[in-house]
């Protein structure tokens, strides 16, 4: 479960995030839409305890991320836009290392390969060095790492940008599976249509504020796009008909 | 977590051809230096054994000769080149290993191998200790310049921190892997040296085991300094190239420039007297005031005569039951010995002042401090040489006394005409040298040990600063 309570962050005079209140329970996903600088990445950084909030709090599975950064990260997975792995290691070795970092030293090769397979990477690919991997393949390793650490909360920062349609579709399906299995997902994206597919809630951020929360079942893609663009142009949001 | 990081680092080292190549080159250099060191020490010891035997043979068969004349003909004191010189020859090539023991004169050492060396050999001495002192830090810097900076550039640092990894664990994991690899080099070179040191014909230094263990500890602390420095600089640098440039600067100053400039500046600020001037002064001040024609010298000799006549209660030299010429020679020896003590104290003092000044440079170069401690432990520093020179001088005095006493006791009224033969020469003792123990050896380098520990504390502080600033500033980017 991911929860923000009056979460606020200022950088000098600039308010990057203003009194964010959200709660993402098990099996739920919040897709945050917004222009660059809207506060999406700041929100993720606050959940990761990379920066201290000016006020308010961020909680992961009930752990305040500032008071208990280690406990809060135990079951938290973070997947950035560019998943960085060690190029001279294989996908399997990268996964083994990441699993060990999260305290799972007991996985055997077969088990690790199963995580990779579930993330969409077969054994042959898993034994190749990461230097030859595409962006989509690296993201699969990151998903496998999240599975290996038994993550129940996911923070994803623009994971779909730059993926080809097939890879983006595959990735979306894996995330949908994770959500169905009970994961809480916070996803920052520019992709309205993927947000429609993945989100149980869609949030629109502007200038550090969550200006709109929508149920994707209640709007069409075209309506969501119009609402989003209205906000970006600075006009008042128009709700669904 | 630290173990996982260290293991990952090892795998990356292994697969990085550059690391394997550099490590291989340094290991080969270490091996070559060890074999070269062993060969040099073996040769020196073989030559010493041969020279000792020849010296004895010449002495024993010199035939009929006045004992004091024989004291001028005299003998050599040869310093053994001990086993640990295989690892660190220190000043062995510079101070000489043979002292000519003659009456009325304290000679400096001769037979300096460096006199036969070409210029380049004075700049780069290939010995195991030097390989570790210079190439150990270089290897560490190559392994670690990107330890944090490259992780930051590639984005892995952010992900590792997101996964709950503590910055200090990353640093320690990297430290363990780099330290293990360079530690392997130290132990490999030390083990290789220890194996070759045990070869037949090479003399064992007292406390060799303890000294070897202390050398291992010294070099581990020395390399740890560079490990923590590298981690700190890498963590504080925005890019790995910047870190590499900074670390190369540190390497050049610490291992190349510092050890060259320090002694040169020390030599300029506290110059030792030039050899020819010192020799002339020794000669002048030890001989002229006793044997010269000045009133002072005449009075001094008269006093010797008056004293010995009074001692035996006789009026003339002819009535003395001893050989007076022998007695006068021995008195002149004892006069000269006091002069030698004073002048050599001045000389050693100038060397000590040079060391003190050079030690200031150790504040900028831990290599200088490590070199001083390493030479002391290997028994190849100036302190070890002074111990040998003092022991040789003590033997010279006793030996000359023995010869003069032979003339005094058995020469009667023959004066300089008295001669001894081979039977007497064969009874004369050899110079046998025992080097000091480790406690005495390290007494003179306590300041260097403290400087090394200060460097270690500073390096850890730089790494800690890197954890605090270099990591936390990064993650919010």
Provide the 8-state DSSP code for A57. Answer: E
Residue A113 resides in a domain: yes
- Six-digit token string for B440: 């005495």
Confidence at B119, pLDDT banded by 50, 70, 90:
very low
Spell out which residues of chain A touch residue B16, defining contact as CB-CB under 8 Å.
88
Same-domain status, A97 and A122:
yes
Same-domain status, A93 and A110:
yes
Beta bridge partners of A15: A10
Same-domain status, A122 and A177:
no
Mean pLDDT for chain B overall: 86
Provide the number of structural domains found in chain A: 2
pLDDT at B109: 57
A112 touches chain B (CB under 8 A): no
pLDDT at A93: 94
Percent of chain B with pLDDT over 70: 95
Residue A145 resides in a domain: yes
Residues B333 and B397: their CA atoms lie apart, in Å, by 8
- Six-digit token string for A31: 């897709």
Same-domain status, A157 and A239:
yes
Residue A177 resides in a domain: yes
Same-domain status, A173 and A225:
yes
Confidence at B473, pLDDT banded by 50, 70, 90:
low
Say whether pLDDT at B249 is over 90: yes
Spell out which residues of chain A touch residue B154, defining contact as CB-CB under 8 Å.
84
Same-domain status, A128 and A234:
no
- Measured from the Cβ of residue A5, the count of other Cβ atoms closer than 10 Å reads 16
Spell out which residues of chain A touch residue B166, defining contact as CB-CB under 8 Å.
70
- The domain boundary, picked from A150, A174, A192, lies at A150
Residues B470 and B235: their CA atoms lie apart, in Å, by 5
Residues A231 and B467: their CA atoms lie apart, in Å, by 41
- Listed range (A171-175, A201-205, B218-222, B462-466) with the worst mean pLDDT: A171-175
3-state secondary structure of A66: coil
CA atoms within 13 A on the CB side of A116: 27
Same-domain status, A219 and A238:
yes
Are the C-beta atoms of residues B305 and B312 closer than 8 Å to each other? no
CA distances, A161 to each of A157, A194, A223 (Å): 9, 11, 22
Residues B271 and A2: their CA atoms lie apart, in Å, by 74
Looking at residues B205-231, what average pLDDT do you find?
93
A80 touches chain B (CB under 8 A): yes
Q: Do A80 and B156 touch (CB under 8 A)?
A: no
Residue A210 resides in a domain: yes
Residue with tokens 């506290």: B270
Same-domain status, A225 and A172:
yes
Confidence at B398, pLDDT banded by 50, 70, 90:
very high
Instruction: Tell me which residue range forms the domain holding A12.
Output: 1-75+152-241
Please report, for the domain that includes residue A184, its CATH number: 3.40.50.300
> What backbone phi and psi angles, to 5 degrees, belong to A59?
-125, 140
Interface of B with A (CB under 8 A): 1, 3-5, 7-8, 11-12, 15-16, 154-156, 158-166, 475-476
Residues B168 and B151: their CA atoms lie apart, in Å, by 14
This prediction's pTM: 0.83
- The domain boundary, picked from A126, A150, A174, lies at A150
- The domain boundary, picked from A105, A130, A150, lies at A150
List the one residue out of B393, B396, B377 whose CA is nearest residue B436. Answer: B377
Angle among Cα B20, B22, B25 to the nearest 5 degrees reads 105
Chain A 193-212, residues with CB within 8 Å of chain B CB atoms: none
CA distances, B105 to each of A208, B74, B123, B285, B337 (Å): 92, 11, 34, 11, 8
Are the C-beta atoms of residues A240 and A214 closer than 8 Å to each other? yes
Residues A169 and B140: their CA atoms lie apart, in Å, by 45
Residues B95 and B79: their CA atoms lie apart, in Å, by 11
Residues A149 and A106: their CA atoms lie apart, in Å, by 11
Same-domain status, A67 and A108:
no
A11 touches chain B (CB under 8 A): no
Same-domain status, A140 and A235:
no
A89 touches chain B (CB under 8 A): yes
Separation in Å, CA of A88 to nearest CA in chain B: 6
Say whether pLDDT at A238 is over 70: no
Angle among Cα A234, A239, A240 to the nearest 5 degrees reads 135
Residue A4 resides in a domain: yes
Tell me the domain boundaries of chain B: 2-270+366-475
Between chain A and chain B, the number of residue pairs with CB atoms below 8 A apart is 70
Comparing CB atoms, the residue among A48, A82, A86 nearest residue B162 is A48
Residues B128 and B186: their CA atoms lie apart, in Å, by 9
Residues B217 and B395: their CA atoms lie apart, in Å, by 36
Same-domain status, A171 and A231:
yes
Residues A88 and A131: their CA atoms lie apart, in Å, by 6
Residue with tokens 């007991």: A106
3-state secondary structure of B203: coil
Say whether pLDDT at A218 is over 70: yes
Residues B146 and B234: their CA atoms lie apart, in Å, by 6
* Residue of chain B whose alpha carbon sits nearest to that of A44: B476
Separation in Å, CA of B1 to nearest CA in chain A: 5
Beta bridge partners of B77: B99
Confidence at B111, pLDDT banded by 50, 70, 90:
very low
Same-domain status, A176 and A63:
yes
List the one residue out of A213, A232, A187, A206 whose CA is nearest residue A16. Answer: A206
Residue range A98-141, pLDDT digits in tens: 888 888 888 889 999 999 988 888 899 999 999 999 888 888 88
Q: Do A101 and B154 touch (CB under 8 A)?
A: no
Residue A80 resides in a domain: no
Disruptive mutation site among B1, B6, B8 for chain A (greatest number of A CBs within 10 Å): B8
């Amino acid at each position: 479960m991911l929860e923000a309570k009056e979460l606020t962050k200022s950088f000098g005079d600039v308010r990057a995030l203003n009194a964010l209140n959200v709660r993402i329970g098990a099996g739920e996903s919040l897709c945050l839409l917004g222009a660059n600088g809207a506060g999406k990445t700041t929100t993720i950084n606050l959940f990761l305890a990379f920066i201290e909030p000016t006020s308010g709090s961020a909680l992961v599975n009930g752990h305040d991320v500032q008071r208990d950064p280690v406990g809060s990260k135990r079951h938290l997975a973070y997947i950035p836009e560019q998943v960085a792995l060690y190029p001279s290691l294989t996908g399997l070795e990268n996964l083994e290392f990441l699993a060990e970092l999260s305290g799972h030293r007991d996985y055997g090769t077969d088990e690790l390969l199963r995580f990779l397979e579930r993330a969409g990477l077969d054994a042959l690919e898993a034994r190749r060095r990461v230097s030859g991997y595409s962006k989509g393949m690296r993201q699969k390793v990151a998903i496998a790492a999240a599975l290996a650490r038994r993550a129940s909360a996911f923070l994803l920062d623009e994971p779909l940008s730059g993926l080809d349609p097939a890879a983006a579709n595959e990735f979306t399906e894996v995330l949908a599976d994770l959500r169905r299995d009970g994961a809480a997902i916070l996803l920052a994206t520019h992709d309205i249509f993927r947000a429609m597919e993945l989100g149980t809630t869609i949030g629109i951020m502007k200038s550090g504020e969550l200006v709109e929360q929508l149920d994707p079942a209640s709007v069409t893609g075209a309506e969501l796009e119009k609402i989003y663009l209205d906000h970006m142009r600075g006009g008042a949001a128009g709700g669904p008909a | 977590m630290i173990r996982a990081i260290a293991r990952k680092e090892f795998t990356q080292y292994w697969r990085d051809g550059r690391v394997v190549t550099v490590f291989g080159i340094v290991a080969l250099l270490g091996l070559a230096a060890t074999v070269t060191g062993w060969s040099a020490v073996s040769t020196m010891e073989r030559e010493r054994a041969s020279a000792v035997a020849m010296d004895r043979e010449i002495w024993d068969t010199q035939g009929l000769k006045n004992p004091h004349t024989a004291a001028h003909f005299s003998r050599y004191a040869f310093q053994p080149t001990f086993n640990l010189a295989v690892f660190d020859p220190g000043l062995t090539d510079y101070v000489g290993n043979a002292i000519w023991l003659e009456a009325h004169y304290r000679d400096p050492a001769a037979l300096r191998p460096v006199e036969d060396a070409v210029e380049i050999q004075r700049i780069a001495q290939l010995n195991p200790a030097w390989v570790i002192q210079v190439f150990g830090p270089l290897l560490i810097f190559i392994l670690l310049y990107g330890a944090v900076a490259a992780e930051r550039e590639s984005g892995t640092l952010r992900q590792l921190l997101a996964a709950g990894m503590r910055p200090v664990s990353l640093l320690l994991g990297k430290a363990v892997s780099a330290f293990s690899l360079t530690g392997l080099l130290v132990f490999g070179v030390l083990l290789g040296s220890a194996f070759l040191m045990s070869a037949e014909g090479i003399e064992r230094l007292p406390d060799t085991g303890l000294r070897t263990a202390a050398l291992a500890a010294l070099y581990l602390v020395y390399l740890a300094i560079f490990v923590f420095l590298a981690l700190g600089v890498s963590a504080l640098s925005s890019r790995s190239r910047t870190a590499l440039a900074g670390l190369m600067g540190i390497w050049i100053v610490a291992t190349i420039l510092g050890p060259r400039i320090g002694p040169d500046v020390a030599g300029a600020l506290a110059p030792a007297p030039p050899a020819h001037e010192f020799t002339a002064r020794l000669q002048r001040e030890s001989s002229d005031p006793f044997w010269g024609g000045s009133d002072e010298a005449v009075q001094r000799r008269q006093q010797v005569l008056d004293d010995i006549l009074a001692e035996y209660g006789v009026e003339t030299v002819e009535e003395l039951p001893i050989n007076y010429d022998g007695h006068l020679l021995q008195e002149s020896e004892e006069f000269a010995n006091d002069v030698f003590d004073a002048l050599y104290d001045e000389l050693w003092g100038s060397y000590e002042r040079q060391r003190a000044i050079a030690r200031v440079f150790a504040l900028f170069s831990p290599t200088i401090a490590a070199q001083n401690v390493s030479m002391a432990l290997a028994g190849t520093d100036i302190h070890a040489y002074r111990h040998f020179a003092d022991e040789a001088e003590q033997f010279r005095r006793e030996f000359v006394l023995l010869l003069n006493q032979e003339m005094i006791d058995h020469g009667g009224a023959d004066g300089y005409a008295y001669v001894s033969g081979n039977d007497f020469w064969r009874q004369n003792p050899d110079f046998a040298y025992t080097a000091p123990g480790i406690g005495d050896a390290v007494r003179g380098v306590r300041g260097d040990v403290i400087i090394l520990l200060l460097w270690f504390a500073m390096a850890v502080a730089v790494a800690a600063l890197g954890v605090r600033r270099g990591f936390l500033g990064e993650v919010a980017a």
